Amino acid sequence: MKKGYVLKTVWIFFISLFLVYTGFVAASFCREKNSVAPMALVEKTVYLETPFGKSASAVRIEIEVMDDVSKENGHVLSVAFAGQNIPLKPVDPTGRRGSTFLRLPPGNYSLQWEVKSPGGFPSTNRIEKSVSVSANEIGIYLLIKGDQLFIQNENQ
C-alpha cells in the first residue's frame, strides 16, 4: 500500500462532504421567501393591459416570438400587435424570444414584426399581417418564427 493513501482518502471524503453540505445550504437559501435567486431562474410572462380585458366577449390571444435559428435572416428585431409593442428578451439556445397574452374583442387587428434581412439593403424586412378575431373563438395562438407566422384557432 502506498504511503499516505488513507490520509488522502479521508481528506477527499471531507472535502466532498463539505461541498455537498454547502450545496444544501445554498438550495435552502434560494427557497427562502425573500431570496432574489429563484426569480432570476423563472421566466416571467408579460401580460399587456387592454381596455377590453374584462369584457365577456373578449378573446384570449397568445403571441409567442421565436428567432428562426436555422436561417441567417431569422432574427426578430421587434413585434407589435394591435398597436402595442411586445417586449422581446435576448434569444435563448432554442430561439425563444418571449410570449404575451391579450384579451381583445372580436375584430381585425394588425400584426407587424421586423426581421433582419440576409444582407444587402435595407438591413431589415418589415412584415405586416392582418389577424381576424371572431366572436365564436375561445382563443388564438400566434407563433412568429423568424419571417413566418403560424396561426392556430380554438373555436367553441
Q: What is the domain count for the chain?
A: 2
Strand blocks (E) in 105-136: 107-116, 124-133
Preceding peptide of 122 cis, ω within 30°:
yes
Tell me the residue range of the domain where 78 lies: 46-155
- Whether residue 89 sits in one domain with residue 12: no
Question: Do residues 110 and 147 both lie within one domain?
Answer: yes
What would you report as the CA-atom Rg of the chain, rounded to the nearest whole angstrom? 25
Cell output for 142: 400566434
Is the same domain home to 136 and 82?
yes
**What is the rounded CA–CA span in Å between residue 120 and residue 72?**
13
For residues 102 and 134, membership in a common domain is answered with: yes
**pLDDT tens digits, one per residue of 117-151:** 777 677 888 999 999 998 888 899 999 998 899 99
Give pLDDT tens digits for 35-83: 444 444 445 555 555 554 455 578 899 999 999 888 777 889 999 998 8
Residues 115, 100: one domain?
yes
User: Beta strands 96-104 and 46-47: pairing type?
Assistant: parallel
